[in-house]
Amino acid sequence: MQTAVKIGILYSTTGPYGSLGREAQLGAEFALHDYRRNGGRKAELVFFNPHADLAAYLEGARSLMRDSGCRHIVGTITSAARKEVIPLVEKHDGLLWYMCPYEGFEANENVIYIGACPNQHLIPLFEHLIPRHGPRPYLVGANYVWGWEMNRLARELIVNAGGTILGERYLPLEETSVERIVADIAEKRPSFILNNLIGPSSYAFLAAIAELGKRDPAFLPENCPVASCDLTECELADIAGGAVGQLSALSYFDGLETSENIAFKSRLKAWRPDIGKVSTIFASSYTAVALCIAAIESSGSEDPVTVRQEVVSRSWPSVLGNLVVDPTTNHAALPFYLGRINDQHGFDLIASEQAIPADPYLITSRQKPTRHLRVVQS
């Protein structure tokens, strides 16, 4: 192993989803801190900020791999950015560590997927919502692959449940004019709303739905909830007036009372007392960097093929639980948690399921669509 192993960190800490990038970068920095605290010295992090410019992600990946000598890159937030850099990672025989929830239908030997795919977030979310609220949702989404694919899958799930999609609308990433969509929702009166918007669009939409609920009780969260698969603690303060009562399906919440999470938060508090609640994006980025470093050290090599073989060879303790990465798809098995937003910019856990093996192409999930969620509270 060379003297210094450099790991690239590719996150946008500015732009429409800058709060997510900042959280992810902090998670990466904390993973390096833990590594150093335990005596590690060989791994270093090299940061590149693309400023939410899609073309700059390619520039960043090229700079990290060619100029800085990184064979591993942890990063990208959006699916568009991930898909932009994968061909370059393949060209340089590198390994991309992706840790955000995404829309599935992808498995690449040059990518380790630490983020959840639809059978780990959308399917169990619908299994919770449909029996309680009915199969007549309204779908909103970002006007790119995440929104398109998530809503396509939602349509399929609703049709299979004998339901009806009452409306489907899309917005650009930075669009905050949501009045027409909210007016259409008020008119059509769905049983629940699936929110696949991102950043400012999502925050504006949730704030507008809260105002609608004040005018019409039918749209209060207990009657017509808005459910997301990507809304985390670090974003809640950006929602004007809050979004108390709305739902998010994730693989981690700050309030989890596991021994791993309690120890994790204790170490974090000692490092940065100013950091409040831990978001899924923080925990997942930490996990990706920590796993990357651990696999490099335990295999004795930074060669991506060797590291990948090491990753899939056994389970790895983490704040997300004992991670098992499938050798066929490179996806981690992840737990499902459903949280309800509280008035403290956090989530109350209302349902959960133990680690679900990833099924990115929904091969087995479609054959066995129903599982049993553990309802924590009603």
Condensed to tens digits (0 to 9), the pLDDT of residues 278-324 reads 999 999 999 999 999 999 999 999 999 999 999 999 999 999 999 99
Tokens encoding 177: 């004019």
Mean pLDDT is lowest, of 170-184, 216-230, 322-336, 357-371, for: 357-371
Count of domains for the chain? 2
Do 85 and 189 lie in one domain? The reply is no
Do 203 and 89 lie in one domain? The reply is no
Given phi > 0 = left and psi -120 to 50 = alpha, else beta, which region is 330?
Answer: left
Q: Is 79 helix (H, G, I), strand (E, B) or coil?
A: helix
Structure confidence at residue 370 as a pLDDT band (50, 70, 90): very low
The residue type found at 307 is V
* Maximum C-alpha span of the chain: 64
Do 108 and 130 lie in one domain? The reply is no
d(CA 250, CA 229): 6
d(CA 147, CA 130): 20
Do 224 and 362 lie in one domain? The reply is yes
Do 69 and 207 lie in one domain? The reply is no
pTM of the model: 0.95
Do 101 and 250 lie in one domain? The reply is no
Structure confidence at residue 3 as a pLDDT band (50, 70, 90): confident
CATH number, position 285: 3.40.50.2300
**pLDDT at residue 346 greater than cutoff 60:** yes
Do 57 and 103 lie in one domain? The reply is yes
d(CA 89, CA 96): 7
Do 248 and 360 lie in one domain? The reply is yes
Mean pLDDT of the chain: 95
Do 86 and 228 lie in one domain? The reply is no
Structure confidence at residue 367 as a pLDDT band (50, 70, 90): very low
Do 183 and 263 lie in one domain? The reply is no
Do 265 and 250 lie in one domain? The reply is no
Helix residue ranges, H only, the chain: 18-37, 54-62, 79-91, 122-133, 145-160, 179-188, 200-215, 259-271, 280-299, 304-311
Provide the domain limits for residue 265: 5-115+256-334
Do 39 and 145 lie in one domain? The reply is no
Structure confidence at residue 117 as a pLDDT band (50, 70, 90): very high
d(CA 339, CA 132): 15
